[in-house]
Amino acid sequence: MNRAANRAINRPPLPPELIERENAARLAALQDEYESLARALDRRGRSIDAVKDKVKAFAVAVPTWGLGVGGTRFAKFPIPGEPITIHEKLEDAAVVNQLCRMTPTASPHFPWDKVEDPAALKEEAAELGLGFDAVNSNTFQDQPGQARSYKFGSLTHTDKAVRDQAIAHNIDCIDLGVALGSKAITVWIGDGANFPGQQNQTKAFDRYLDSMSQIYAALPGDWRMFMEHKLYEPAFYTTVISDWGTNLIAAQQLGEKARCLVDLGHHAPNVNIEQIVARLARFGKLGGFHFNDSKYGDDDLDTGSINPHQLFLIFNELVEAEARAKNGANGGFDPAYMIDQSHNVTDPIESLLLSAAAIAGSYARALLVDREALDAHQSDNDVVLAFSDLRRAYETDVAPILAMARYELGGAIDPIDAYRTSEWRPRKAQERGRASMSAGIV
């Protein structure tokens, strides 16, 4: 699924010998565990190498804003050596990718990551083995010197001049993305209302469609537009694009290139997100994901840290949809995967490494589901055996598959250990020499 070619890393941020040394100490144990799992899976009629090859072809993008330490409305606790500039963020993204070989792209957010020379930034990233994933616009904040305020909305604002400013920013993001080699823009707006009566809900949605159609018209032929719904926050009474239904209507109105993006944190608690994924995939409108996890709301916790079973069930739908697409159904299947988390109490590099593994692990487990057996059990209404098909795959420890995939791609068998041994952060604390107090919530 959607892997940008595993790029050569001309300028590796970590010494390759360090990873080789670390791996050498672990290889025999890994081979033993891998072979043992291979035998167990073989008895279930599953090929470990086939799953490993799929995992090796899997990729998920990291968000530039997730490389800095996050925060809440209340505080941010910076760590020494955290990246502040886009150049430093790319360097840290390259560390993640060098260790896990699963995150070969970074997703920039403008204007935060805006540079004078995007072509040079593209070169710089390529040297580090990175490409650029979807570009993200930001009309949920006012920027210094900005002519008009987004306090009462952006793409849906009652004042055409504000809407025009927000449209122009999105088109500017597309232009920057073209220079960086991106192929998609993700649009999330904070527009909505905090009070009943504040906003005419129908007119606001109409204004959204009108604004988005102007951005859509500026998309290059091979681009996609990802639209991200969000239940609430910063608008607490009603959000213009609040849910997947509203989002789907809008995407259908706008056209083929418009797709719905599912941020796992943007739903009410207990919503069946895997069902949303199944519906969107079935109608060719699943654009991609922002992976994270939550206990209460849009918590932006590390992916799989709270509800790994839900993540598995989502990937179960994705594997199913991918198989359908292979048979030519539902207009193809190529969702964009990205992590969207706020790392408030951890080193972002470590959180991203753990999350990438959680995501790939869910994919591997979903690949282990015996789909023929599941289909037969579903047809027979054999509830227990159908559930057991999923349960057996979910309960499989796929860690040796992930580690072997990383190793074969040149990454670290134990990425966290290799990262700590590298002393990257303490070294960067010396070099970068300051802690960032910027930003609160990401």
Chain positions contacting Mn ion, by CB under 5 A: 263, 290, 340
442 binds, among Mn ion, ligand PSV, none (CB under 5 to 8 A by kind): ligand PSV
By rule CB under 6 A, what string of x and - marks binding of each residue 222-241 to ligand PSV?
Answer: ------x-x-----------
Contact between 302 and ligand PSV per CB under 6 A: no
**Cβ 188 to ligand PSV, closest distance in Å?**
4
Asked if residues 155 and 212 have their Cβ atoms less than 8 Å apart, the reply is: yes
| Comparison of 99 and 261: residue with beta carbon closer to Mn ion | 261
Contact between 290 and ligand PSV per CB under 6 A: yes
| Comparison of 56 and 230: residue with beta carbon closer to ligand PSV | 230
65 binds, among Mn ion, ligand PSV, none (CB under 5 to 8 A by kind): ligand PSV
- Buried b / exposed e over 273-302, threshold 16 CB at 10 Å, is bbebbbbbbbebbbbbbbbbbbeeebbbbb
The Cα–Cα gap between 388 and 377 comes to 10
| Comparison of 98 and 211: residue with beta carbon closer to ligand PSV | 211
389 binds, among ligand PSV, Mn ion, none (CB under 5 to 8 A by kind): none
By rule CB under 6 A, what string of x and - marks binding of each residue 57-86 to ligand PSV?
Answer: --------x---------------------
Helix axes 308-326, 348-368, angle to 10 degrees: 50
136 binds, among ligand PSV, Mn ion, none (CB under 5 to 8 A by kind): ligand PSV
State which of positions 170-199 bind ligand PSV (CB under 6 A): 188
**Cβ 4 to ligand PSV, closest distance in Å?**
20
Contact between 263 and ligand PSV per CB under 6 A: yes
- Measured over the CA atoms of residue 341, residue 345, residue 347 and residue 353, the dihedral's sign is negative
Bridge partners (DSSP) of residue 301 are 293
| Comparison of 92 and 263: residue with beta carbon closer to ligand PSV | 263
| Comparison of 293 and 340: residue with beta carbon closer to Mn ion | 340
The Cα–Cα gap between 70 and 66 comes to 7
Q: Which of 92, 298, 317, 320 binds ligand PSV (CB under 6 A)?
A: 298
- Residue with structure tokens 């469609």? 209
| Comparison of 51 and 67: residue with beta carbon closer to ligand PSV | 67
Contact between 136 and ligand PSV per CB under 6 A: yes
| Comparison of 71 and 400: residue with beta carbon closer to Mn ion | 71
By rule CB under 6 A, what string of x and - marks binding of each residue 336-375 to ligand PSV?
Answer: ----x-----------------------------------
Q: Which of 180, 286, 313, 442 binds ligand PSV (CB under 6 A)?
A: 442
Residue 429 burial by Cβ neighbours in a 10 Å radius (0-12, 13-18, 19+): middle
**Contacts to ligand PSV by CB under 6 A:** 65, 136, 188, 228, 230, 263, 290, 298, 340, 442
